[in-house]
Amino acid sequence: MARAARQATGLPRGGSRVGKTYDMLGEGQRRAGRGTDVVIGFMEDYGRPLTRKMAEGLETVPRASVPYRGTAFPEMDLDAVLARHPHVALVDELAHTNVPGSRHEKRWQDVEELLEAGIDVISTVNIQHLESLGDIVEQITGIRQRETIPDDVVRRADQIELVDMSAEALRRRMAHGNVYPTEKIDAALTHYFRPGNLTALREIALLWAADRVEEALLRYRKNHGIQQPWGTRERVLVALSGGTEGDTLIRRGKRTASRGAGGEFLAVHVERGDGLVTASPQLLSRQRALVEDLGGTFHTVTGDDTARAVLELAREVNATQIVIGATRRSRVKELFTRGVGESIIEGSGDDIDVYVVTHTEAAHGRFLHRRRRGPDRP
């Protein structure tokens, strides 16, 4: 049975500037050294001596020559790799567009066929080639990437390795002639490879990889039936009742999430199971827009027990904090019934912080912070 590809993800600098191909070959050498049958299905060395040296000793499947408009172009010989049927194939440049006349339009489709045949694949891809990032990469660099790959193709990999390099280190490599010929260095450093561009693109790569790790963590918790959140980063869930205090809670949630690196926030509104509308659709629509404008995500869930629905979502998304509004109920009602806020606090356990935020619509103003307990929390 085919296994998913393992793909080494490089920073969005183009080509092999950060060492993706070199690292791919290094992984191939390590596996071959342990007795695994490894071949190079396709590799771009861009004339770099160190890359060529890393490939020494690994079997290379000869390339195919595909004619197009009177010229022959080298491509991966998919049929030859399938016939050779190694345990692992190294296939560079996953987002590459094949020459017209090839069996598949894109190289990642070639890889899919190798996987279906039971061949594991180690590949490389630049982060700027992911379809979801095309617009933001163009805003930063002024260049629209013509070769793209669906994000889901990369996300399906068993493992993703981020090949990282600081902007300063990459520019030094270029200045020393390790990336481009001498006559191209100045132009490259002045345009695409400016420090600001590289820093911004590097941050995109780090954030995308962090999200992929978070997806794997959520999947692991689900598969192993783990209910309590793991606070790998701050994730704030804002519970919205549909009242006008929602704007205050949303902004508080955003500020709280922004205090930590990589923090994010979500908002949730619980609809009644019987279909009765208890909140203004126009108000909720406006609050949804505010959440999205601030970079959060808005969720609507259905349940007759509001507190339970909020807590279930909090644990599902691995939330570390819940923000709720202070009660608008009268003190007489508080004496005889437990409100949603009290139920959320009681059910949050020791692993989720609950923030109760005062607002002008509350029957009485207060601020309550219910802190989760632990060995390092008094």
| pLDDT, tens digit, 9 for 90 and up, residues 77-122 | 999 999 999 999 999 999 999 999 999 999 999 999 999 999 999 9
**Phi, psi of 91, rounded to the nearest 5 degrees:** -130, 110
Which pLDDT does position 130 carry in this prediction? 85
pLDDT of residue 377 exceeding 70: no
pLDDT of residue 54 exceeding 80: yes
Residues 269-293 pLDDT 10s? 999 877 777 788 899 999 999 999 8
Query: Are 304 and 272 within 8 A, CB to CB?
Result: yes
**Cα torsion at 71, 76, 79, 84 (round to 10°)?**
140
Q: Is 46 left (phi over 0), alpha (psi -120 to 50) or beta?
A: left
Confidence band, pLDDT 50/70/90 cuts, at residue 266:
very high
Closest CA to 3 of 221, 211, 126, 159: 159
Angstrom CA distances, 160 to 108, 134, 199, 231, stand at 15, 20, 21, 22
Residue type, 238: V
Give the mean pLDDT of 188-213: 66
Give the mean pLDDT of 38-49: 89
Place of tokens 């692992």: 88
Domains and CATH numbers, the chain: 6-223 (3.40.50.300), 235-370 (3.40.50.620)
pLDDT of residue 307 exceeding 70: yes
Which pLDDT does position 284 carry in this prediction? 92
Highest mean pLDDT among 1-5, 33-37, 322-326 belongs to 33-37
Element (H, E) at 121: strand 120-126
Which one has a higher pLDDT value, 256 or 205? 256
* CB-count burial class (<10 Å; 0-12, 13-18, 19+) for 371: exposed
Q: What is the pTM assigned to this prediction?
A: 0.56
Residue type, 58: L
Element (H, E) at 27: helix 20-33
Give the mean pLDDT of 155-178: 72
CA distance linking residue 348 with residue 356, whole number of Å: 13
